[in-house]
């Protein structure tokens, strides 16, 4: 069974404590429902032929709950410990500059992805097969994630992530606040793990 994680998120600039607290409740719901689905499937599989339709539908739903849980764990961990700059001699920053031409060029591209109309996640993945980064805007958590690619950075662009602090037309301010509070040491570690496997 999955366990709800706790996060040491400090007071953030531009993202209120109330917003984080409410957002954490939503995360807790993903953990709870991922576990409930597993329990229900275990009940139904005693007669898997009779319950095949129900099990299939629950498995589809499980992808949404599981990915919602994991995406939020990346999101909240990236805000732990307060805002930090890149570590000295950052391998992540160097790799982004090599692929995108400059740090500023990558950041502008990622922020543009985050501003995609609609709800979803702006994602930065690393592909160890090609040794390159890949972006995605993931609208539905169970659809559109890049198969087999480790997540380096995930920005929640569902309205629940910012609606207590910003109206929808101000989501650019939320994106700026997210980056202002990001702990780049955490993102650096995500990248190192994605390279080494």
8-state DSSP, 4? -
Q: How far is CA 108 from the centre of its chain?
A: 19
Specify the residue for token string 């909240």.
Answer: 76
Query: Three-state SS for 125?
Result: strand
pTM of the prediction? 0.94
Of the candidates 164, 173, 163, the residue with the CA atom closest to the CA atom of residue 111 = 173
- Give the model's pLDDT for residue 87: 82
Tokens, residue 128: 């160890």
With 0-12 CB in 10 A as exposed, 13-18 as middle and 19+ as buried, what is 110? buried
Please say if the pLDDT value at position 83 is more than 90: yes
Which of the four pLDDT bands, split at 50, 70 and 90, describes residue 17? very high
Which of the four pLDDT bands, split at 50, 70 and 90, describes residue 92? very high
Tokens, residue 168: 């929808």
Helix, strand, coil distribution of the chain in percent, nearest 5: 55, 10, 35
pLDDT tens readout for residues 47-64: 999 999 999 999 999 999
Please say if the pLDDT value at position 115 is more than 90: yes
Report the alpha-carbon distance of residue 162 to residue 79 in Å, rounded: 14
pLDDT tens readout for residues 145-169: 999 999 999 999 999 999 999 999 9
Q: What are phi and psi of 3, to 5 degrees?
A: -115, 135
Domains of the chain: residue spans and CATH: 14-197 (3.55.40.20)
- CB-CB neighbours of 187 under 10 Å: 22
Tokens, residue 122: 């702006």
- Give the model's pLDDT for residue 107: 97
Q: Are 142 and 67 in contact (CB under 8 A)?
A: yes
Which of the four pLDDT bands, split at 50, 70 and 90, describes residue 196? confident
């Amino acid at each position: 069974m999955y366990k709800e994680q706790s996060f040491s998120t400090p007071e953030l600039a531009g993202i209120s404590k109330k917003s984080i607290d409410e957002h954490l409740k939503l995360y807790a719901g993903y953990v709870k429902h991922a576990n409930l689905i597993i329990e229900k499937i275990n009940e139904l599989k005693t007669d898997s032929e009779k319950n095949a339709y129900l099990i299939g539908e629950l498995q589809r739903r499980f992808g949404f709950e599981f990915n919602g849980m994991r995406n939020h764990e990346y999101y909240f961990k990236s805000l732990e410990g307060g805002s930090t700059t890149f570590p000295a001699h950052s391998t992540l920053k160097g790799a982004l500059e090599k692929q995108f031409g400059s740090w500023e060029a990558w950041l502008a591209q990622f922020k543009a992805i985050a501003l995609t109309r609609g709800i979803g996640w702006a994602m930065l993945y690393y592909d160890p097969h090609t040794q390159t980064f890949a972006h995605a805007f993931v609208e539905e958590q169970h659809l559109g994630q890049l198969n087999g690619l480790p997540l380096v950075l995930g920005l929640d662009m569902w309205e629940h992530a910012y609606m207590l602090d910003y109206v929808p037309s101000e989501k650019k301010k939320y994106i700026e606040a997210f980056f202002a509070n990001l702990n780049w040491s955490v993102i650096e570690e995500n990248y190192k793990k994605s390279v080494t496997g």
